[in-house]
Every structure is written in C-alpha cells, then in structure tokens.
Structure 1
Amino acid sequence: MPPSAPDPFARAGALREEYADVDWSAGPMGAPEAWSPALWASLGLVWGTRFPATLLWGPELVLLYNEAYTELIGDKHPALGRRCAEVFPEAMGTIGPLLEQVRAGGEATWSEEVLLPLQRAGYVEDCWFTWSYSAVRGPDGEVEGVLDIAVEATPVVLARRRSHLVAQLLASLEDAATEADVVERTRAVLEAGDDLAEVALPLGAAPGAGLTLETGGDPHRGVLCRVEVPRRHASTRTRHLRGRLSPRLPLDPAYTEFLRTVAAGVGAALDSVATAESQRAISEALQRSLLTQPQAGHALEVAVRYQPASQQARVGGDWYDCYPLPDGAVAVMVGDVAGHDLAAAAAMGQLRNLARGVAYSADVWLPSQVLQDLDLAMEGLGMEVVATAVVAVLEEQGPDGQLVHWANAGHPPPLLVTAGGGVRLLDEGADLLLGLDPSAHRLDHRLELAPGDLLLLYTDGLVERRGADLDEGLAWLVETVGAHAHLGPEELCDVLLREALTHDDDQVLLAVRARGLG
C-alpha cells in the first residue's frame, strides 16, 4: 500500500509532478495503490539519497529514479515508468546480463569505471560509470526489483586518459631533432589515442584565435578543429594543430583545454628544435672556421671533408690538417678529441694548433716525436683531455712518388689504395692515446706512396656502427673503397660520406694521392 499521506510522491522532490503525471495504471507497474511495501520502501531510499539512483522494477525492469539520476541520463529524461530496454537499448549489451544476474537471485554487482555508451545528447556518447546493482526482495524472499546506485566517472577517466596522452607526447618530442620529427611524432602519438584523428601540423596560422571549428562535413566522423600552436623562438615557423574531434565526446571546456595543452607542448618542441638548429649553425660555423684549407703543393692531390653529426650540436673534437714544413715535406694529420660540445671544440682547436707548432718548429719532425712532444705540451699546459690522432709526413721522392712516415696514437688505422686498385688497412698497431701518459713510447712506420697511390685518414665517426664492433665498420670501409678505388680523392670522399650507414658522430676525412712527376 502507498504511504497514507495525501500525496504519495511528495518525497520525490523536483520530480513529484512528473511521477504524478505518469499513467501508472496503464503500464506494467499498475496503480500506485497496489505497489508492494518493498517497492515503496526502496523508492523512499532512492528519493532520500543525493547519489544518482534508480529502481528497475519487475520482470520488465521499469524505471523509477531520483532527481540526481536525471542529470546522468540527459535527454532520455523523462523515462519514469518506461522499460529499461526501451530507454537504454545502446547499453543493454553491457548492463543486461548484470541485471539478469541480480534478478535471478545473484549477489550484488560492482562495475568500476566501465565504458557505457549512451545516447543522451542527440548522439552516442562514450561515458564511463561506476555502479552497483543489488536485489530488492519481497517478504517471501523473491526478487521484486533491482536497485541501481551510480556515479559517472567520465570526467575522471577522460582527464586521466588525456593526461597520459600528453605525457606520452611530451616524452616523444623530448629528443626530436627536426621539424619533421615533431610533425611525425605528434601525428603518431595523437592518432594512437581516442581524442583526435587525422592529425596534422600545417604551416601557417589557424583561421582564428583559440579553437576554431570547420563547418560542414559528416558529423558522424567528427568535426575538424584547428588550434594555434604558440611559438617563442624567432626562427620557429608558424604552424597550427589540425585534427578531427571524436564524434563520441562533447566539446566541453576540458576537451578544449586538452587541445590547447597539446598545442603548447608541440610549440615548445618546435621552439626547442629551432633553438638547437640555431646553435648548430653557430657551432658548425665555429668548427669550420678552425679547419683551414689544406696546403699540399703540386706533388700531392688532397681532399678533406668535415661532416657534423646529424643528431649532435654540430661541434666537437674531430679535426684534420695539411700544411708544408720548412724543408718542403708535407704534414697531414687527423685527430679526435673525446666529446661533442663546445669544450671539445675548444680543446680541438688548441690541440690542432699545438700539433702544427710542434711539427713545424721541431728539428726532428718524425711523427712519433711530434706525438711525443704534443703529449708533453698537453701535460704542461694542463689540458685535461684525451684524444686520438694519426700524424703523417710525406717527403717527395721525385718520379718515385712520396715517402710517408706515420705514427698512430689510438686512432683507427689509415687506408692505402694503390694505383692498381689494391686496398689495405695500415693496421700495424696503434700506440697509446694522447693525454694519458706523456712518457709512453711511440713507433714510426714507413710507406712508399707511388704515383697514383692514395692514403686515406679518417675519424671513427665514419666506421663506427651502433650495436656493432669496429671491425664491421672497417670491413665496410675496405669493401666500399675497393669498389671505388679508381676514384680520385674528392670523388672518393663524397662516395664514403654518401654511403656511410650511420651519421651519429662527426666524420672527418683526409685523402691524399701522389701525383706522377716528369
């Protein structure tokens, strides 16, 4: 029996009139006067809580709910007195089995942050809820209905999901080296999520300030939006973020803030790339200014190359040199100071100039003595660096070519290419690196460089391979040079830089070929 009060729905609050207006007698519930005590008691609990709550009554699961529940179901309200399957057809695949489980006498269910699509605002919307179904039993213990207490978790789930996606994006962009990297990584990360599709970063400003939407198109695919990408660096080119919004989510303030956060992160990455590119340009100019053009004389044909690392600051410790000595011989050298920064570049410049001075002014210019004196000078000047180097001195022998004296301080071995096409590494062994022990004994080696023979010096950036040992890189060098042994110094250097498998480190090459005289 209903409560004895004149108005049985008085406790329904703002829904009182809507309860009163339902023709309950025409539906499966029957007239309120015939409702069971269990129903009235449960309905009192529903009306008395501020949580969204509903009763699903009888075999047909007729809906009775409180005011808070109307906010949860949106434009599905009013649904009082209607069957659950009729009101929530899009959700029955998920909630139907749970309701049947409880109606069959099972224990209460618990569903936490479960995706439940709802058409409550004119389209099917992705929603997440936490809810519990529990049985309402009559005096005989039979299940008369199901009590549903629910809380919407959509804002929490979306905030967590978007926060995670932004973190992924920022992590991906952290080491982006070029604009192209930023564009591609942004597209890949965002399109792997569920909030944006068809992502791009076109050049140029967005059509308007803030977030702009494109009109027309298929709304079931989602609306195209554009967001200005903020920039701070003067060299950063203007871009905007373009993407297709999810057709299953409302464009609310949280969605808009997510888009702005993404655009800001992309802008910061583009600024970082522009800053690094500016620094690389300055650093490369500095490095090249320290590497003068070779001076070899008419008896030698010389080519040099300096190729900065593609992913570094384009400044480091690699160097080459080629210059005549007072007695007419020619000194050539290639070296590498450990490090890839301005400190390494500064040490390189100092070491290169020291080597020049030692070789030019020494009474005995044998390469081993040059390296020995260079080591002593490094210690005396307090240069706390470690370096490798190959120093060679070429003496003209008339029509017989050149006599080469050379010494190696921990550097990759020079390469000899004979006029007949033979190729071999001069791997007689490398002495101790520079900067470790100035008293270390160093050896000289000799080589006849006949007319047409070519000597190649290089730094390890040419032959080192990530995940591989140095022998593999040296084997590649011998094979590649062998296939192009007919080329001159300039052409050979170009081929080697073009066919190098990696470009993770600076690359320096110096190729010298003896000319025939007569």
Structure 2
Amino acid sequence: MSRGEEPLWRLAGSLHPAYAAVDWAATGLGEPRDWSPALRSTLALALETRFAMALFWGPDQVLLYNEAFVGLIADKHPAALGRPTRDVFPEAWDQIGPMLHSVVEDATPTWVVDAEVPLRRSGFLEECYFTFSYSPVRGPDGAVEGAVDIVTETTRQVVARRRLQVLTRLDQGLARVSSTAGLVDLAVRVLGADPGDLSEVEAVPGAVADPVVLESVGAPGEGTVARIALPVPDPRAPQQHLRVRLSDRLALDEDYVDFLRSLAGALQQALELMAARDSDRRLSEALQRSLLTRPAHGPTLQVAVRYQPAAEKARVGGDWYDAYVLPDGALAVMVGDVAGHDQHAAAAMGQLRNLTRGVAYSARLALPARVLSDLDRAMAGLGVDEVATAVLAVVEDGGPDGQLLHWSNAGHPPPVVVEADGSVRLLEDVPDLLLGLDPETRRADHRLRLRPGDTLLLYTDGLVERRDAALADGLAWLVATLEGWGDRDPEDLCDHLLTEVGQHEDDLVLLALRART
C-alpha cells in the first residue's frame, strides 16, 4: 500500500497532505501498515478530536499530531511531522525531555499548569506558557510504546495576568504620589520591575506627540523601542517621557499595544488626580486662612500665630486660633480643634470661634472657665452639634511683675510655658470635658503669673501626635525642642517649631504669647 493510500490519513483533515508526504519508512516508526494497534488507535483518536493532541512514539519519540496542535507550533509544521521530538524542540528539550523520559520509563503520567516552555516557532525564541499532560500508552503486552500529550496554550492568559498585576501596582503607587517627580520615579521603579514586558525603562527629556509612540518596530524578537508620554501639570515645565524597550520574546500584537496604552492612561489619570488634589488643597488652605484673622497684641504682650496644613492632605480642617482685646483691656487668646477634617469641620470651627468671641466679649467677668461653660450651653441651644477641644486664656496686665494668666482647658493638649531663663514646663492640670458633650459640666480656671520674658505656647495636636508614638513622647519632644528658647521673639519660636516638626500628619496651629520685658 502506498503512503497516499493509508486510510488513517483520511482522518487528518487539512493535515492529510502532510501525513501523506512523510517518508515514514525512513523514520523510527516504519511503514504505517506495520504500525502497532496501540499506535494506530491512539493516532486515530488524536486526529478525530478538536483538542490539541500530540504523540511521542518509539525509541526516538517520533512526533505525530492533529490539526489543533499545528496552531501551537506554527512554523515548525510541517517539518515537525514524523521527526524525533528532540530535534523538533531543541530549545525546550531540557525541560520536556526529562518529563517524557519519566512517562515512558516509569509509566507514570505527569502534568503541569501554566508552565513556561520557550519555543522557536515564529522566527524567534518566544515566551510561551502551556497547561499539558503527558500520559503513557501501552501495547497489548502492557509495555509502554509511547506517550500522548494533551495540551492547551495559556500564554495569553498568563501574560495578561502579569500585565494586570503591573497596572495594579502602578495604580496603587500613583494614588499616593504628590508631585511630578514622585510620579516619574514611581513609574520607572514599578515598570522597571517587569522585565517580562519591558526589558529597559528610563525617563528621558522631551515630549512625545501621542500617549504611546512605537519608535522602531523591528521584526518579532528584536525588541521594539516605545515611548510613553509622561504628562506634566504645567506645559511650561521641562517635558519628559519614558523610553522603554519591549520584550524580544513576545510578538508586538494588539494586546501588547493595549497594555502600553493602559500604562499611559494610568499616568495621565494620576496627573489629573494630583492636579485636582493640589487645586483642592490650595482652595482649602485659602478658606481656612480666611477664617483666621490677624491676632491682636496687648501693650505689654507680643503674639505670634501660625497655621500650617498637613503635608499630605488636601482637606480643610477644624483647627483655629484667636487673639482679641476684651472691653476691660485684657487679652483673650484661644486655640481649638473641631473633630473632623472636611468643609463641615471648617464651618463648625468658624461658628465656635465666633461664638466664643461673642460670649467672652459680652461677659461681665471674662473668666475662661465661665466663657467655656457659656459656650457649651450656646452650642446646645443653637444646635451646633460638634465636638471640639480648646484652651482659652485671658491675660491681664500685672504691672512690673509681669502678666496674670487665667486659663481653662477643654480636653486639649496642655499649654506650655517657656520661662525667660530657658526652662520649660507643661501646664498639665487635668483637662476638663471636651466642648459639645455636656453643657452642664463643671469647668475649672487655673492661674499663673507670666514674668517678663516668659512665653506661653498654645498649639493643636498636629504638633505632638504621631501614629507610631504615644502622646507622652510627643510632649517630651516638645519640651526638649523648646528648652533654651526663653525670652526669644515669638515669631522666631514658631518658625523654630515648624522647622523641627517637619512633615506632619495633621493640620497644626501655634499661638505664642510673650510678656514683654
């Protein structure tokens, strides 16, 4: 029977001519009419299934396969048909050879999921992934004659999963960046950690016309160079873009280009979000500062104030300060903090600040405890449903011996006195209940004489509170930072504190009051 008349070939579909063209007598399998029943029946099964299947038969593990398998080996067909498997897949033999050996020698099936098997099937060594199973095929006597491979390619799924992970890491990092420089550094770092898709990543000067520009599209496997736009918020600023070299083991298909476009889109969205946050931050800070007027000074007192928003936040808050002269000539100073960090807290801050002014100014005797008690009752009666901490102090002229200080503390961090000789002490009387909780709570007044050159410091918790440290640690830091700063200009003292605290997690307010010498 001639090769072209072999009945099996009629089962091969489009592979019929390829099977008929092989000189089977020159292979280790011999003429098809002499093939064993196990080989003929297994090949018939493979040829009649639509799932990709291959046979590795005989001592040379001669390769036979069906139509679906051709899509997996591409340019290796039709030369692969009837050849020893080792000669067909030399680039992958170190990986699949031992697996085949164990199946044939030990009659033990094996399988892998999403295994990387490099193939030279389209003119270059390609990154490929497969899920496959090798199973022994026995003859009538029970001896293993060959192995069958049932396989599906998962390259697209594995690579897509990897690219999604890169985009996820990029998005997570970009959500935290607050500057263009930070965006560029993050992009280079995250994308540079993906050698599977981007073998080289660097930021270079200059703009590009489109979000993604393929600069040099070489043949598959040559590693195309692409340029990805790096947006900047100010068109007058120096322009940059990412120069990336693509993998030389992946074809530049539409999925690859879509991945690059997704990277460019993520960078653009991050810039827009960063610009929006910056705009909100400037607007919020302007609103906050508009509510905080310049403080009054007494004839024998010098007052300095500071308001500074948190380093990584674009929201208005409830921190405030105030300093104003009462009808009897005494100076009232106050620092407070409404719970929350939003426009609602800022509005409540404005209400409490103005209410306190009205209560204190109209009181016959402006003792701080009485003012805060009246403020509590006003908040309840007027429906100001907020909670706040505050320290209110009233400073009276005490003559040549200095100033008489009265203060009351509603749940706020303790005031600090820096004496003229540079020693520091916390006014750590037990604070009373926060404002807004119980309008009938009793509040205490405290008294102290500020000697000439002494400085009183009021502040909000952004100065001393840290997520990773106890409040006591923050207060100890504050005392140590102020030591030796007696009889210094309050403006200098405030600047010193802001320099030492550096970046802070919350808004902070400072009010320094010095008794003139």
- Distance in 2 (CA, whole Å) between partners of 1:124 and 1:63 is 21
Q: Does 1:195 align with 2:188?
A: no
The aligned counterpart of 2:397 is 396
The aligned counterpart of 2:286 is 285
- Distance in 1 (CA, whole Å) between partners of 2:509 and 2:200 is 43
Q: Does 1:45 align with 2:45?
A: yes
Q: Counterpart of 1:121 in 2: which secondary structure? A: coil
- Distance in 1 (CA, whole Å) between partners of 2:180 and 2:342 is 22
The aligned counterpart of 2:454 is 453
Give CA deviations for 1:243-273 in whole Å, capped at 9, x if unaligned: 3323322221122222223332332232222
- Distance in 2 (CA, whole Å) between partners of 1:11 and 1:319 is 86
- Distance in 2 (CA, whole Å) between partners of 1:497 and 1:230 is 33
- Distance in 1 (CA, whole Å) between partners of 2:199 and 2:130 is 25
- Distance in 2 (CA, whole Å) between partners of 1:200 and 1:321 is 51
The aligned counterpart of 1:428 is 429
**Alpha-carbon offset, residue 103 of structure 1:** 1.0
- Distance in 2 (CA, whole Å) between partners of 1:280 and 1:4 is 80
- Distance in 2 (CA, whole Å) between partners of 1:282 and 1:177 is 16
The aligned counterpart of 1:35 is 35
1:206-245 equivalent positions in 2, closer than 5 A: 206-207=208-209, 209=210, 211-215=212-216, 222-228=223-229, 242-245=243-246
The aligned counterpart of 1:104 is 105
- Distance in 2 (CA, whole Å) between partners of 1:22 and 1:177 is 66
Q: Is the 8 A contact 1:334 1:390 kept in 2?
A: yes
- Distance in 2 (CA, whole Å) between partners of 1:215 and 1:51 is 38
**Alpha-carbon offset, residue 327 of structure 1:** 2.1
Q: Is the 8 A contact 1:2 1:37 kept in 2?
A: no
Give CA deviations for 1:348-394 in whole Å, capped at 9, x if unaligned: 11111111122222211111121122112111211000111111111
Q: Does 1:358 align with 2:347?
A: no
Instruction: Evaluate the alpha carbon distance shift between residue 197 and residue 281 of structure 1 in structure 2; reply closer, same or farther with a 3 A threshold.
Output: farther
The aligned counterpart of 2:119 is 118
Instruction: Evaluate the alpha carbon distance shift between residue 401 and residue 485 of structure 1 in structure 2; reply closer, same or farther with a 3 A threshold.
Output: closer
Q: Counterpart of 1:305 in 2: which secondary structure? A: strand
The aligned counterpart of 2:266 is 265
Give CA deviations for 1:2-25 in whole Å, capped at 9, x if unaligned: 899467634333333333333333
- Distance in 2 (CA, whole Å) between partners of 1:479 and 1:90 is 68
- Distance in 1 (CA, whole Å) between partners of 2:259 and 2:213 is 14
- Distance in 1 (CA, whole Å) between partners of 2:19 and 2:99 is 27
Q: Is the 8 A contact 1:231 1:271 kept in 2?
A: no
- Scaled by the length of structure 2, what TM-score is found? 0.90
The aligned counterpart of 1:136 is 137
The aligned counterpart of 2:22 is 22
Q: Kindly report the root-mean-square deviation, in angstroms, between the aligned alpha carbons of the 2 structures.
A: 3.0
Instruction: Evaluate the alpha carbon distance shift between residue 33 and residue 430 of structure 1 in structure 2; reply closer, same or farther with a 3 A threshold.
Output: same
Residue identity (%):
56
- Distance in 1 (CA, whole Å) between partners of 2:299 and 2:353 is 24
Give CA deviations for 1:198-240 in whole Å, capped at 9, x if unaligned: 4467786534x35322339999794332245799999999875
Instruction: Evaluate the alpha carbon distance shift between residue 457 and residue 198 of structure 1 in structure 2; reply closer, same or farther with a 3 A threshold.
Output: farther
**Alpha-carbon offset, residue 187 of structure 1:** 4.1
Q: Counterpart of 1:55 in 2: which secondary structure? A: strand
1:409-424 equivalent positions in 2, closer than 5 A: 409-424=410-425
The aligned counterpart of 2:387 is 386
* Structure 2 gap ranges (5+): none
- Distance in 2 (CA, whole Å) between partners of 1:221 and 1:413 is 68
Instruction: Evaluate the alpha carbon distance shift between residue 117 and residue 4 of structure 1 in structure 2; reply closer, same or farther with a 3 A threshold.
Output: closer
Instruction: Evaluate the alpha carbon distance shift between residue 294 and residue 69 of structure 1 in structure 2; reply closer, same or farther with a 3 A threshold.
Output: same
Instruction: Evaluate the alpha carbon distance shift between residue 40 and residue 278 of structure 1 in structure 2; reply closer, same or farther with a 3 A threshold.
Output: same
Q: Counterpart of 2:91 in 1: which secondary structure? A: helix
- Distance in 2 (CA, whole Å) between partners of 1:82 and 1:103 is 18
**Alpha-carbon offset, residue 178 of structure 1:** 4.3
Q: Counterpart of 1:110 in 2: which secondary structure? A: strand
Q: Does 1:61 align with 2:61?
A: yes
**Farther-moved stretch of structure 1 (176-185 vs 342-351):** 176-185
1:437-448 equivalent positions in 2, closer than 5 A: 437-448=438-449
- Scaled by the length of structure 1, what TM-score is found? 0.90
Tell me which amino acid in the other structure corresponds to 2:404. Answer: L
The aligned counterpart of 1:323 is 324
**Farther-moved stretch of structure 1 (99-108 vs 340-349):** 99-108
* Structure 1 gap ranges (5+): none
**Alpha-carbon offset, residue 336 of structure 1:** 0.7
- Distance in 2 (CA, whole Å) between partners of 1:221 and 1:453 is 75
Q: Counterpart of 1:466 in 2: which secondary structure? A: coil
The aligned counterpart of 2:92 is 91
